[in-house]
Structure 1
Amino acid sequence: MSRRLLAGTLLLAAGALAVWHGAYRTVESVLAGALIRLYTSDSVYVAAERQSVYLGLGGERPFGLRMSPECTSAFVLLPLLVIGAGMIARRPAVTRRVLGALGIATVLLVLLNQLRMLVLVGTVNSFGAYRGYLLGHSMFGSLVSVIGGVAVLVLFVWLATRSPEGVAPGRQRPSATRVLSSPGNRRPCRCRRHPWRGRPAGRS
């Protein structure tokens, strides 16, 4: 696949994510429901069509969480796709590193958002619906999102721009031919000319 086609594919993926982020949030909601079931013994219901997760149904403190556009990881992943497309278009040599960095960043962003949801559920269970939601969403959840998001961004840039081991940035690894033919690696010739010990030609 050519670099232009690959960069265009990433831009199309970013555009699709911006237009159909509702489907992305649906997947995140289903995943959040599955993880919350492992975390709590309360009954959990996932309304995938509304991107919502309901907990504690039938109990004393039922509440629901909706994966709104502000709470999804889609709009954090979107600029990384655009940046990755630009890097591939400008420097084809970094294509593999950029794609690998995008894959790792995508997984980490999804897991980070799920961790934020679990923190929110934990604060609601501990401090009640009103106070727990304020603490989990505005304080602890924001800390998880900001610190984790910055860490993922730094990791993406490092993975996408790091040079191969032993090669300085912007320089290519010298080939074996260049190494062997470089002046510093040439061994001085140890051969000596031996004088002619025979008779000169044409003389008796």
Structure 2
Amino acid sequence: MMHTLALNPDARGSSRSDREESRRAPADIAARYTVGVLLIVAAVLLVLLEERFRIFEAGVAGSWLTPFVPGGVRHYLNYYILEVEPGRTVAFMVTIECTVAFLTAPLLALSGVILATTRVRWRQVVKSLLLSVVLIFVTNQLRLGVIALGSQALGFEVGYELTHRLIGSVLSIIGFSAAYLVFVVVIADLHLFRRDPNRRRSRGRRA
């Protein structure tokens, strides 16, 4: 007598996917560790090379401000230079306090740690890091632009004090806080504060 065994197609599919996942796991873990370490190294280098990054920030500010400033904006090292009043040229310096290097480095390091030590998906880590870093950089560029344009429009003494101490500070607080909030929300969306749909259904049945 022959005995036949009926195999469940779903069971075959699940076992195949399990095997594929187990094959991918070592490679994925190695990649996560590698990229995580590289992100941490990038954070350290960003802090160590912050002076070069300040030069880059000044260059970017000078480039996009040029169309808005009569006579244009010149760039030299970590300075962007423009005429704020007739016959008066001022070199605005991107100082250690002005650079976003020290705000971006913690996000790079934290992303590296999360990627290497958790199971948060690649897409979520990359998305949260890119969104927050771009928001930080754009916020600071807007701040540098507001200071330069305000100094030119209102006169250096009044414009610089108003834009640097008040408007620029408020803009920085809002933009940088939003960037860190975006980072946390995007990362936490996977494992934190997510409502279980099954729990909702059970509550609906009880009601």
Superposition TM-score, scaled by structure 1 size: 0.74
Aligned to 1:148: 175
2:121 alignment partner, SS class: helix
Aligned to 2:96: 69
Match of 1:37 among 66, 79, 91: 66
Alignment check: 8 A CA contact 1:3 1:89 kept? yes
Alignment check: 8 A CA contact 2:46 2:101 kept? yes
Aligned to 1:195: none
Change in CA separation of 1:52 and 1:17 when aligned onto 2, cut-off 3 Å: same
2:102 alignment partner, SS class: helix
Whichever residue aligns with residue 188 of structure 2, its letter is: T
1:57 offset after TM fit, Å? 8.2
Aligned to 1:188: none
| 1:147-195 deviation digits (Å, cap 9, x = unpaired) | 110011111111122139xx98498xxxxxxxxxxxxxxxxxxxxxxxx
The structure that is helix-richer by fraction is: 2
Whichever residue aligns with residue 90 of structure 2, its letter is: F
Task: Between 96-105 and 51-60, report the one with greater CA deviation.
Answer: 51-60
Whichever residue aligns with residue 30 of structure 1, its letter is: G
1:62 alignment partner, SS class: strand
Aligned to 2:34: 5
Aligned to 1:119: 146
Aligned to 1:128: 155
1:162 alignment partner, SS class: helix
Q: What is the distance in 1 between the residues matched to 2:85 and 2:75?
A: 15
Aligned to 2:200: none
Give aligned-pair identity as a percent: 26
| 1:63-109 deviation digits (Å, cap 9, x = unpaired) | 11011111011111111112212221221333321122111222221
Alignment check: 8 A CA contact 2:79 2:92 kept? yes
Alignment check: 8 A CA contact 1:124 1:131 kept? yes
1:72 alignment partner, SS class: coil
Any gaps of 5 or more consecutive residues in structure 1? 172-204
**Superposition map of 1:72-87 within 5 A:** 72-87=99-114
Aligned to 2:76: 47
Aligned to 2:203: none
Whichever residue aligns with residue 156 of structure 1, its letter is: F
Count of paired positions:
167
Q: What is the distance in 1 between the residues matched to 2:176 and 2:90?
A: 27
Change in CA separation of 1:58 and 1:39 when aligned onto 2, cut-off 3 Å: closer
Superposition TM-score, scaled by structure 2 size: 0.73
Alignment check: 8 A CA contact 2:85 2:152 kept? no
1:53 alignment partner, SS class: strand
Q: Does the alignment pair 1:14 with 2:43? A: yes
Aligned to 2:133: 106
Change in CA separation of 1:70 and 1:149 when aligned onto 2, cut-off 3 Å: same
Change in CA separation of 1:168 and 1:44 when aligned onto 2, cut-off 3 Å: closer
Root-mean-square deviation over aligned CA pairs: 2.3
Alignment check: 8 A CA contact 1:94 1:160 kept? no
Alignment check: 8 A CA contact 1:61 1:129 kept? no
1:69 alignment partner, SS class: coil
Q: What is the distance in 1 between the residues matched to 2:48 and 2:120?
A: 31
Match of 1:96 among 110, 123, 132: 123
> Which 4+ runs in 1 deviate beyond 6 A?
none
